[in-house]
Structure 1
Amino acid sequence: MIINNVKLVLEDEVVHGSVDVQDGVIRTFAQTQSQSPQAMDGEGGWLLPGLIELHTDNLDKFFTPRPKVDWPAHSAMSSHDALMVASGITTVLDAVAIGDVRDGGDRLENLEKMINAIEDTQKRGLNRAEHRLHLRCELPHFTTLPLFEKLVDRELVSLVSLMDHSPGQRQYADRSKYREYYQGKYHLTDEQMVRFEEDQLALAAEWSQPNRMAISAACRARDIALASHDDATPAHVVESHHIGSVIAEFPTTFAAAESSREHGMNVLMGAPNIVRGGSHSGNVAAHELASRGLLDILSSDYYPASLLDAAFRIADDARNAYNLPQAIHLVTRNPARALNLSDRGTIAEGKRADLVLAHRKGDHVHIDHVWRQGKRVF
């Protein structure tokens, strides 16, 4: 397969040329036009590496599209997978929550069904994107470690993150934001909300630190990439670094992001944060970190189409320290490197032919086609 007449977004530059794919890998690329009559005309669009998503809970929406609605597993997986590739994502780590029982049990009940669906469809070659697992471990609960130990040796586990959403710290250092979010989400009275907070604080005091140490030790022993989550202070970062974290997911302050970089951790922020212009929790905005060059990886989190949109917005914003290739690294090369996926993430000879063809139409970057390992999947 030859894709002709495209702007190739390479590691350090954008060149106008063509790419030749054979047996699922990039054989050659050139700054010239192919003369082959079989070559596909890219019509001057950008040709990018396939996007790599490290943290999305998008699959939840398809398993439980409405409260108390339980959707058939393979249908849910197929719809989720289709949305991923339509967003340009060719490698996705589906995040499943362990120990987070605050949603009335839906996530817990769906956990095994979701993981089985991911594994089965991936093994049978039914997915258009490559799906892996990200275990999101909510530390303040007695169920977390037993569930983690049950799941950690599953073949597709590629990332583990350590979360603590208890009130008064990290994402919810402002307890009024905590009350606003959870009281609204669960329709609690003031009295019920007080009891809810007290319960969460008690769980955190008993379980957070023991679970943090046990889970991080298991990841180090298995060489599984570890991520911190919502670090707010340099002290949080030092602890995360000490237990082996290589990714800092959603640091909530500039000081935490800066400290994460100083300790060699990849700073990951939400692409929706870029598109919306700020954090829905009132924490540090991703564009503020981008303006200081403190952003390494973007995640679509809850909105898959935000990933490519955010990368182009960062490149377009003159306040930021990223040109287009550097901005595209945030959703391709950098997440690949963080997981030691050396076969993808860049347009280079011998790399997987995971590719995205896109054009700008007005203010929107429109995805035309997506290939995974040379096979067109969108």
Structure 2
Amino acid sequence: MVDVHSDGLEKELLPRPGAELPMEFALLSFEGKLRAAGVTTAFHGAAFEESGGRGMRRTLESARRICAAVESRGDDGLVDHRILHRLDIRCPEGLAGLRQRLAEIGGAARGPVLVSHEDHTPGQGQYADRGYYERYLVGTRGVTEEEARAYVDRLIEDRDGRLDVREEALEWLGEQAGAGRIRLLGHDPSSPQEIEELCDRGGSVAEFPTTTAAAKAAREHGMPVVMGAPNVLPGHSHNGNASGRELVGRGLVTALASDYLPSGLLSAALLLAEDGLASLPEAVGLVTGGAADVAGLPDRGRLAPGLRADLVLAEAGRPWPVVPAVLRAASGASGGDAA
């Protein structure tokens, strides 16, 4: 099982406000949860942005620390740890930080360098209805509804003054993708036009499309489509966007990601099969071969001679599945060698 987008390490690092854990400990602790969920390859989100405001904790320093910890652990533990670079395209500090990061990587990357670009400005994309973002602030940061509205007003005004940064970031990402230095994912595309623009800049994957039209356009372009398992489990998006279950039923989804809930991957896949929205092989493929294709890793995700020997033994269970055992390839081994 391959998880192409996990923000769970951030949550593991800070289980409660003010109770930040050592990074290496948090990674080891989270590794246990990934293993228990049957995940054998995980892409941890490292957010290249500087987010202000109460309760916000995404900084360039935290992104660098996540990258360093993940790279140090690599494929030496229970899980093959990798990095998903996330760029806020309206953040000049984030853009400078990612430029530096890619320069440091150079040609020494272990496999494709995944970069997901995102724009979480309220009023468009993931938060097309700004009310969902305001309720998120109230629920996660302990602010009042009035404070949340005022914060969102200031945020929109501030980010609307950074459209030049957005254009610079998208142009640079297109150059990197065109040169083959990165595998580019478009986060939260909301329309066929955004899919066209993503294709034009060399994008390879539509990640969490917010509308059926965007997902359909992506598939028409032969682009993999990733949806979140937490969207599939309850049958709807938490912020009013496209339903993962509906998109799977329409044949528009090629992979699921945990987003922030590793245990949701297998559960969501088997639920889709049980409800008849996909056959069992199709559903399991969303968290195995389909996810490996999203990551550009052809050496795993399928049971075939010569591929990486990562095997997950899963028991369907009622109502939810469990993972009795995981057998994974030996550290540094090529396909076919198991430990």
- Provide the TM-score with structure 2 as the length reference: 0.89
2:121 aligns with 166
Change (3 A) 1:288 1:70: same
The correspondence of residues 169-318 of structure 1 with structure 2, limited to 5 A, is: 169-186=124-141, 187=143, 189=147, 190-203=149-162, 205-318=163-276
Structure 2 counterpart of 1:324, which letter?
A: L
**Larger radius of gyration between Structure 1 and Structure 2:** 1
> Is the CA contact 1:225–1:245 (under 8 Å) kept in the aligned structure 2?
yes
Residue 362 (structure 1) shift: 1.9
Structure 2 counterpart of 1:195, which letter?
A: R
Distance 1:209 1:183 in 2: 31
Percent of aligned positions with the same letter in both sequences? 36
Structure 2 counterpart of 1:202, which letter?
A: G
Q: Does 1:334 align with 2:293?
A: no
Residue 151 (structure 1) shift: 1.4
Residue 184 (structure 1) shift: 4.5
The correspondence of residues 341-356 of structure 1 with structure 2, limited to 5 A, is: 341-356=297-312
Residue 63 (structure 1) shift: 1.8
Q: Does 1:57 align with 2:4?
A: no
Residue 324 (structure 1) shift: 0.8
Distance 2:83 2:231 in 1: 23
> Is the CA contact 1:63–1:71 (under 8 Å) kept in the aligned structure 2?
yes
Q: Deviations over 1:92-126 (max 9, x none)?
A: 11111111414656221422222111111227x2x
Residue 68 (structure 1) shift: 2.6
- Provide the TM-score with structure 1 as the length reference: 0.80
Residue 194 (structure 1) shift: 2.4
Give runs of ≥4 in structure 1 deviating > 4 Å.
none
> Is the CA contact 1:139–1:207 (under 8 Å) kept in the aligned structure 2?
yes
> Is the CA contact 2:228–2:257 (under 8 Å) kept in the aligned structure 1?
yes
Structure 1 or 2: larger helix share?
A: 2
> Is the CA contact 1:62–1:76 (under 8 Å) kept in the aligned structure 2?
yes
2:69 aligns with 117
1:44 aligns with none
CA RMSD of aligned residues (A): 1.9
1:150 aligns with 100
1:78 aligns with 28
Change (3 A) 1:265 1:225: same
> Is the CA contact 2:4–2:294 (under 8 Å) kept in the aligned structure 1?
no
